[in-house]
Amino acid sequence: MSQQFDVLVIGGGPGGYVAAIRAAQLGFNTACCESNPYADPKGEPRLGGTCLNVGCIPSKALLHTSHLFEEAGHAFAEQGISVGTPRIDVPRMIGRKSEIVDKLTAGIKGLFKKNNVTLLKGHGAFVGQGAAGWQVKVGEEVVEARQVIVATGSKARHLPGIAVDNKLICDNIGALDIDAVPRKLAIIGAGVIGLEMGSVWRRLGSEVTILEAAPDFLAAADVDLSREALKLLTKQGLSLNMGVRIGEVKTSKKGVSIAYVDKEGKEHKLDADRLIVSVGRIPNTDGLDAEAVGLKLDERGMIEVDEHCKTNVAGIWAVGDVVRGPMLAHKAMEEGVMVAELIAGQAGHCNFDTIPFVIYTNPEMAWVGKTEQQLKAEGVAYKAGKIPFLANGRALGMGAPEGFVKMLADARTDRILGVHIIGAGASELIAEAVVAMEFGGASEDLARICHAHPTLSEVVHEAALACDKRALHF
């Protein structure tokens, strides 16, 4: 007889492993199947998905190392510290990153054991419906589950005619394993990966050129924030070329050559040692045999779900990158918990209006809620408070005076509608804004809270005060 489970999760990334742990905590006999793209040397599948293996965690490790390198080379001297010219040992940097990945992916296996989640090794594909629930083939075995959560995530989108070998031409996988500092690095796509990976290699000495099709830089961000980011990143030496059209890409022993047309229609050829293609991601639904159970996909191959991650088939749910919404690990985890709790009959929920976005450049960028241009387009009357980090003692002490906090609040009710931060520690500072917005807070609520001095969080406090035109330090 086939193995039977209350809940089967397909995919062990942040959406899947969190859903599995929560389902098991709620008393369900739970299994999670994971195919094997990031196998360890023994051939065992690594849990953690894109995020832990080839996404969030390794990229942040490289961002940290390259930041320290840049600080040692440029910022130390200003503070009276001389260390000579720093040198980077790239294999050691990559090795450290891989050790962190090993530790964390093994940690998820430990969490599965602790929570009694059964790990099934192999690719999951729908077969049909049996007496005990949905039938899913995992490897060679067919298992049955009353409830199935699809969390198969996403993979890099590639461009026609540009063959990714993850050596010379890389997507996110190869970009996190480059073994020497490229003299010239080309990147197609000035999105999140382009800016983060471009920052890593620029700090380590590469001449980085980013080619972006869209006319506007970071159009999804608040217009003040994207303008400031463009100014600061360009000053650091990233060459950001907007509105380009990519032509033929050729490889040779010497490297890669990219033909493109700029926004004025002028033709160019860019020669580089390596190319990173970071033009968005596509859902992993091929090989899932969704049609075997009548699961509806949209035209982009994403599984169609409602706001509770319910698919069109009762007892089948889908979470994370494989469904609509931002492709973010914390969004995937939030949905995973929500679905497990809904299966248990609880009131699981996910507030899509308060999902924070972070870009881990230096300075960091982070935001939550509406941008100023969205409020204008929606005809919402709002007030704004904007305070630069330059006015903050802690930021100056840290040598990080760039950027600002901008708070947008409803002109009538004072409810916070959006917070946009570019500056040191933005990824942590945004949490206060998320909490305030989740509680339906007003700018006055934050203005009346005592913030420790001297901290960067005082800039958030001052921005709240500035919404009422009563900033004290600016």
What is the footprint of ligand FAD within residues 309-338 (CB under 6 A)? Answer: 320-321, 327-330, 332
Q: Which does 12 bind (CB under 5 to 8 A by kind): ligand NAI, ligand FAD, none?
A: ligand FAD
Given candidates 6, 15, 210, 311, which one binds ligand FAD under the rule CB under 6 A?
15
Q: Which does 359 bind (CB under 5 to 8 A by kind): ligand FAD, ligand NAI, none?
A: ligand NAI
Q: Which does 385 bind (CB under 5 to 8 A by kind): ligand FAD, ligand NAI, none?
A: none
Binding segment for ligand FAD (CB under 6 A), chosen from 34-42, 71-79, 88-96, 255-263, is 34-42
Q: Is 254 helix (H, G, I), strand (E, B) or coil?
A: coil
Residue written as token pair 């050691």: 92
Given candidates 12, 174, 189, 385, which one binds ligand FAD under the rule CB under 6 A?
12
284 is a contact residue toward ligand FAD (CB under 6 A):
yes
CA dihedral 69→74→79→84, nearest 10 degrees, is 70
The Cα 226–Cα 222 span in angstroms is: 6
The Cα 404–Cα 367 span in angstroms is: 12
Distance of CA 461 to the CA centre of its chain: 27
DSSP, res 451: P
The Cα 357–Cα 359 span in angstroms is: 7
Distances 398 to 193, 409, 432, 463 between C-alpha atoms, Å: 26, 29, 21, 20
441 is a contact residue toward ligand FAD (CB under 6 A):
no
Closest approach of Cβ 16 to ligand NAI, in Å? 17
Catalytic choice (123, 453, 461, 473):
453
Q: Are 382 and 375 in contact (CB under 8 A)?
A: yes
CB closer to ligand NAI out of 10 and 358: 358
List interacting residues with ligand NAI (CB under 6 A): 159, 188-194, 196, 211-214, 246, 278-281, 326-328, 358-360
Binding segment for ligand FAD (CB under 6 A), chosen from 149-157, 199-207, 374-382, 451-459, is 149-157
Binding segment for ligand FAD (CB under 6 A), chosen from 55-63, 305-313, 383-391, 435-443, is 55-63
The Cα 448–Cα 315 span in angstroms is: 47
CB closer to ligand NAI out of 312 and 354: 354
Backbone phi and psi for residue 51, each to the nearest 5 degrees, phi listed first: -55, -55
Q: Which does 189 bind (CB under 5 to 8 A by kind): ligand FAD, ligand NAI, none?
A: ligand NAI
Given candidates 66, 105, 154, 361, which one binds ligand FAD under the rule CB under 6 A?
154
CB closer to ligand NAI out of 211 and 288: 211
- Determine whether 453 is an active site residue: yes
Structure tokens at 286: 């091929």
Given candidates 7, 21, 101, 288, which one binds ligand FAD under the rule CB under 6 A?
288
Closest approach of Cβ 186 to ligand NAI, in Å? 11
Structure tokens at 380: 């919402």
Q: Mutual orientation of helices 14-25 and 90-114 as an angle, nearest 10°? A: 20
CA-nearest of 458, 462, 464, 456 to 474 is: 462
Positive/negative CA dihedral, 332, 333, 338, 343: positive
The Cα 135–Cα 464 span in angstroms is: 53
Residue written as token pair 């191959």: 301
Residues engaged in binding ligand FAD (CB under 6 A): 10-16, 33-35, 37, 49-51, 55-56, 59, 123-124, 151-154, 172, 193, 284, 287-288, 320-321, 327-330, 332
Q: Which positions are catalytic? A: 453
